[in-house]
Structure formats: C-alpha cells, structure tokens
C-alpha cells in the first residue's frame, strides 16, 4: 500500500517592524529564501502608508486601532502596499534567488472578499473573508510552476472594487485553504520572540500551547487584549487542518532550517 505524503508549505506573515526597517527586511528575506520547499509571503504596509497619507494631506482615521479605509485612503494603500512595498520585497527576493511574484487578491482572482457591512461603524472599503474566498487550486498551480507568491494586504470583491484586508486574516485564510493540498505551517513573524508570560521579559517565552493550555493562560490573564484575536484565529486554522502555527521573532526564522525551537508553537 502506497502512502501519499503531502509537500510541506510555509505561509509566513511579516509585520510592520520588519517592513519599516531595511536591515531587518534584508535579513528576513534572506532567511525566507533559504527555506526549502513551497512558501508564501504575506505582508501589510507598516508605517509607510500612514506617512505618505500625511504627506498628501490625508488624515488617518482609526477606531480601536483599526484603519477606516475611505476612498482616498484606499488609493494610498493600493499604491503603497501593492506598489512600493510589494515590488521592493519582490526585487529583494529575486536578488536572493527566490522567483517571487507580487500579488494582490485581485490578481488571478486568488482572494475574493466581501465589503464589510456597516453596523455601528462604517469601516469603508475593508474586505472580510469567508471559507470560499481563496482560490487554492490556482495558487497551487502558480507554486508548482516555480513561483513564490508574495501577497500584500489587498483583496477584491469580484465587481471591480479593491478592498483593504487584514494581513493576519489573509495569511490564516491562505493556510486553511491550502492545507488539503499541502502540509501547511503558518508563521507570524513580529518583534517579540513569541507569546510571553511577561510582555517585558523576552526570556519568559511559552514554547508550546495546545487548546487546553490556551484556556488556562486566558483564565490566568497571561494572554489578553491584542493577542487574543491572533491566537483565536491560529487555533481556528489548526482546527481546519493547518499542521501548526508559529508566532515568533523575524530574526529567528532561520532556526526552522536548523531544526531548532522557534517562537511559540500552537498545535492540536
């Protein structure tokens, strides 16, 4: 009897702390290139979109840390995310030998979203994803042809409208959609070593969290506030077939190739 073994796939999301620092970005992309097998990069816009908006006289509006995307803001984030940042990342990846192709969700109809409905707050041109948003088969064809997708935080609605979409959410949706085709590991790279017992102590890393441990950490108030939605999404992804989710420092990505512990690993 032959056993079918799925190919490994890494889906890696980088935060603004990597994008905003050219040296950090250089080292990260070098480590990203060194990873064996299929991989997908997902990025947002860091502080650059806000900086350019201010230079253009467009005031940023935030509610609970979430950007309101009016039409002027959408134009800026489309230029910055899909243009300036994405093409800089692609050029750097080509430099290191990764045959990257820069994408929005509109390209290839890879990620289609629905405009967030207006409830108490009108978020403007913001896209929400669902179980059918990601075209996994077409993305797989692209990777099997030898390309490495680099997605920015933009999707489309299928009716000609671009939508600003959370990069963490895009990364999770890609991982879930591709997990039936690949042995998928989702990695969130940011400025901390992982989930910490004490946010001010980098040595207080929690290396492994399963659902039971997660409930304990929430009850103990060790995990709270902004980490809750990230971890909720992570465990949802695992429940939907993603092999594991890792949250860790971008500078330690190379540890994966060396089979060394890296960040906080979330699993079943």
Annotated binding site: 45-46, 67, 164
The CA distance from 237 to 185, in Å, is: 10
Cβ contacts of residue 89 below 8 Å, gap of 6+? 25, 29, 41, 43, 100, 102, 150
The CA distance from 49 to 148, in Å, is: 25
What the block records as the tokens of 181 is 């085709």
For the CA atoms of the chain, what is the radius of gyration?
Answer: 18
What the block records as the tokens of 30 is 């070098």
Q: Please name every residue paired with 184 in a beta bridge, in sequence order, or none if there are none.
A: 9
Binding-site residue ranges for substrate: 45-46, 67, 164
What the block records as the tokens of 234 is 């992570």
CA dihedral angle for residue 14, residue 15, residue 16, residue 18, rounded to 10 degrees: -50
Alpha helices in 80-155 (DSSP H): 86-96, 136-144
The CA distance from 118 to 263, in Å, is: 37
């Amino acid at each position: 009897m032959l056993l079918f073994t799925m190919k490994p796939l890494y889906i890696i999301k980088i935060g603004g702390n990597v994008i905003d620092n050219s040296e950090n970005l250089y080292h990260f992309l070098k480590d990203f290139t060194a990873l064996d097998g299929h991989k997908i990069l997902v990025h947002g816009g860091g502080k650059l979109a806000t900086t350019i908006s201010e230079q253009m006289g467009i005031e940023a509006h935030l509610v609970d840390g979430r950007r309101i995307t009016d039409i002027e803001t959408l134009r800026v984030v489309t230029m910055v995310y899909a243009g300036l940042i994405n093409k800089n990342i692609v050029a750097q990846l080509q430099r290191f030998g990764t045959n990257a192709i820069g994408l929005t969700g509109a390209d290839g109809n890879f990620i289609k979203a629905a405009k967030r409905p207006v409830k108490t707050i009108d978020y403007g041109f913001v896209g929400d994803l669902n179980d059918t948003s990601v075209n996994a088969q077409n993305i797989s064809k692209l990777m099997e042809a030898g390309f490495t997708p680099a997605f920015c935080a933009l999707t489309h609605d299928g009716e000609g409208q671009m939508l600003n979409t959370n990069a963490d959410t895009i990364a999770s949706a890609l991982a879930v959609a591709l997990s039936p085709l690949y042995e998928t590991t989702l990695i969130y790279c940011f400025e901390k070593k992982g989930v910490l017992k004490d946010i001010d102590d980098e040595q207080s890393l929690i290396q492994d969290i399963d659902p039971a441990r997660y409930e304990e950490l929430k009850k103990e108030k060790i995990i709270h506030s902004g980490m809750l939605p990230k971890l909720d999404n992570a465990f949802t992804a695992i429940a939907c077939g993603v092999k594991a989710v890792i949250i860790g420092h971008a500078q330690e990505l190379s540890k994966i190739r060396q089979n060394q512990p890296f960040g906080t690993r979330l699993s079943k």
